[in-house]
Amino acid sequence: MAELKALTDATFGQAVAESPIPILVDFWAPWCGPCLKAAPILEELSEELAGKVAFAKINVDENNEAAVNWKIVNIPCLIVFKGGQEVTRIIGLKTKKDYLKQLETLS
């Protein structure tokens, strides 16, 4: 399984703005049980949707600036960006089918 690209406060803006395809960013923390359960699902989806959607993650404990800027109050929080702009937000642990359904609306 491919691990999601890890972003930091320093790399977040550029990664989101310059992604040629929609990019899903997983706002997570290592102590968050639902976040840890979502990780393998997102890794599977990143392989299945390679070339259509980019996947990344950002640890909100270590990168508080991005979390504050995007008003993250619950995790896991997945935000999909297109052209640097937020197009959808998925809060909480979902099934793979539910995540896929949301991502398919992007094309």
Burial of 31 (0-12, 13-18, 19+ CB in 10 A): exposed
Residue 77: active-site member: no
Residue 63's contacts (CB-CB under 8 Å, 6 or more residues apart) are: 7, 8, 9, 12
Catalytic residue among 4, 23, 35, 66: 35
Catalytic residue among 25, 32, 72, 79: 32
Catalytic residues: 32, 35
